[in-house]
């Protein structure tokens, strides 16, 4: 039977997870895009043009939040709306400028992340990746089991 997770251990892991979300970690100096624009462009790169509804689903935030983020990205020339053939729905699509800014920021973030991971060594990084995968799967299962609040 697995050892029980103590309050101290829960606090320790929670603190480390929160550290990963700090602005200096998720948005180091020298980036062009804010965090929301970067995430939006990442999704559009992976999924292609998407409806606001699909972005809400993927980002797991309120529609008003996605609408605000898309509006800001539109104002900065990072995305455009295009009509979806055979539908009244509009798709959000990244512009060339948005794709270029995303690529530059991805490269910058990647440099920093690689530097940090190299201090751990490839074997530890492989174990960390596997452990994080298991943690994410366990968290998703626990949230699903808990149901809506």
Q: What is the pLDDT of residues 123-134, one digit of tens each?
A: 999 999 999 999
Mean pLDDT (the chain) is 92
> What residue spans define the domains of the chain?
30-120
Count of CA atoms in the C-beta half-sphere (13 A) of 72: 15
Chain centroid to Cα 83, Å, comes to: 26
- Burial of 34: CB neighbours in 10 Å, binned 0-12, 13-18, 19+: middle
Name the CATH topology of 30-120: Arc Repressor Mutant, subunit A (1.10.10)
* Tokens encoding 49: 């043009």
Q: What is the pLDDT of residue 149?
A: 66
Among 115, 112, 100, residue whose Cα is nearest residue 32: 100
* Tokens encoding 60: 């797991």
pTM of the model: 0.78
């Amino acid at each position: 039977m697995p050892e029980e997770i103590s309050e101290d251990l829960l606090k320790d892991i929670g603190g480390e997870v929160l550290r990963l979300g700090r602005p200096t970690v998720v948005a180091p100096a020298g980036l062009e895009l804010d965090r929301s624009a970067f995430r939006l462009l990442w999704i559009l790169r992976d999924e292609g043009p998407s409806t606001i509804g699909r972005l809400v689903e993927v980002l797991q935030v309120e529609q008003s939040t996605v609408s605000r983020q898309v509006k800001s990205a539109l104002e900065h020339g990072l995305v455009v709306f295009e009509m979806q053939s055979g539908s009244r729905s509009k798709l959000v699509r990244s512009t060339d400028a948005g794709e270029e800014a995303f690529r530059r920021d991805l490269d910058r973030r990647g440099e920093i992340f690689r530097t940090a991971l190299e201090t751990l060594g490839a074997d530890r990084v492989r174990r960390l990746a596997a452990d994080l995968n298991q943690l994410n799967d366990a968290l998703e299962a626990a949230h699903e089991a808990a149901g809506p609040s």
